[in-house]
């Protein structure tokens, strides 16, 4: 079980083609702050039908895109 499972489930339930979450929203959903390990764990999201798009350090946001 991944430490980001609750985030992946949230993304899957969202259902939108593409949407953006802030780092703070991700912390609230996952229960942990986003950190460097997120880059490793983001591959798991494909199992939920999504992929991580742009990660903006400046805006502190992550874009999630549905896989067609």
**pLDDT tens for each residue of the chain, 68 residues long:** 789 999 999 999 999 999 999 999 999 999 999 999 999 999 999 999 999 999 999 999 999 999 98
What region, left, alpha or beta, does residue 60 occupy, with left being phi > 0 and alpha being psi -120 to 50 degrees?
A: left
pTM (2 d.p.): 0.92
Measure Cα distances from 16 to 11, 55, 64, 67 in Å: 9, 18, 9, 11
Residue 68 pLDDT: 83
Instruction: Give the closest residue to 51 by CA, choosing from 32, 68, 37.
Output: 68
């Amino acid at each position: 079980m991944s430490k980001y499972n609750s985030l992946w489930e949230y993304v899957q339930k969202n259902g939108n083609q593409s949407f953006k979450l802030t780092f703070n929203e991700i912390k609230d959903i996952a229960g942990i702050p986003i950190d460097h390990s997120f880059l490793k764990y983001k591959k798991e999201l494909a199992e939920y039908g999504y992929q991580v798009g742009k990660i903006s350090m400046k805006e502190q946001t992550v874009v999630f895109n549905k896989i067609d």
